[in-house]
Amino acid sequence: MPKLKLDISMSLDGYIAAPNQTLEHPLGDGGMRLHDWVFGLKSWREPHGMSGGESNADDEIVAESTRGIGAVIMGRKMFSGGDGPWARDPNADAWWGDDPPFHVPVFVLTHHEREPLVKDGGTTFTFVTDGIESALAQAQAAAGDGDISLAGGASVAQQYLGAGLVDQIQIHLAPVLLGGGVRLFDGSIPKPVELEAERVVASPAVTHLRFQVSR
């Protein structure tokens, strides 16, 4: 069975977006700070169509996180996010461009029914309107021998965590206290969940903490 893996950047005080998050500014005011560590890395730049970049331990973590992924689940905001007029248009698809960085089937949780959207490079966006378990079942069927990446945003991650459906959590801990914003862990987990601390990789820019969720 494919594993559901959550891979997300978080501040030490638990925020995955800064205050004043909107559909147009999904990371809030200053929330890009959480992702500073990633933008200069080769393994992030390449699938986003940019050349160059650093190859270091952080880079290997990013490369690893996309290897073996057979399907992606994301929320509506993440699908249509970013600055621009398309952010509030449920039929928009401009944000990810013609060749999105996923190269696998992507399942978008939304309330807007819509035909699947086929992009270049193997990315197909399928819109799921009947809930997180349906999206997971569809992703499992599509993932083949691969695992499933739970790409966010916060609401979708919280729903899967709260339902006990996440198998692996990797937190990319940014060395900053944001002081406010959108929490990853907002109280939607109904009872204590034991984790298995599996690996830590640390650099001055970020600490990667990987846990398996105990069953």
Nearer to a second copy, 138 or 170 (CB): 170
The verdict on 33 binding a second copy (CB under 8 A) reads yes
The verdict on 183 binding a second copy (CB under 8 A) reads yes
Interface with a second copy in residues 87-146 (CB under 8 A)? none
Which residues lie across from 152 on neighbouring strands?
Answer: 74
Q: List the one residue from 24, 25, 30, 163 that touches a second copy (CB under 8 A).
A: 30
Q: List the one residue from 1, 111, 197, 215 that touches a second copy (CB under 8 A).
A: 197
Cα Rg of the chain (Å, integer):
16
The verdict on 12 binding a second copy (CB under 8 A) reads yes
DSSP 87: G
Cα-Cα-Cα-Cα torsion 76, 136, 12, 18, nearest 10 degrees, comes to 10
Q: CA-to-CA distance for 171 and 32, rounded, in angstroms?
A: 16
Count of residues that interact with a second copy, criterion CB under 8 A? 38
CB of 153 to a second copy, least distance (A): 17
The DSSP-derived string for 9-62 is EEETTSEEE-SS--SSSTT-TTGGGGGHHHHTBHHHHTTTT----B-SHHHHHH
The verdict on 215 binding a second copy (CB under 8 A) reads no
Residue span binding a second copy (CB under 8 A) among the ranges 65-73, 83-91, 101-109, 203-211: 203-211
The verdict on 62 binding a second copy (CB under 8 A) reads no
Q: Tell me the one-letter amino acid at 49.
A: G
Nearer to a second copy, 50 or 200 (CB): 200
Q: Quickly tell me which residue has 């959480």 as its tokens.
A: 34
Count CA atoms closer than 13 A to 166's CA, side-chain side: 28
The verdict on 49 binding a second copy (CB under 8 A) reads no
Interacting residue ranges for a second copy, rule: CB under 8 A: 12-14, 18, 30, 33, 161, 169, 171, 173, 175-180, 183-185, 187, 189-197, 200, 202-207, 209, 211
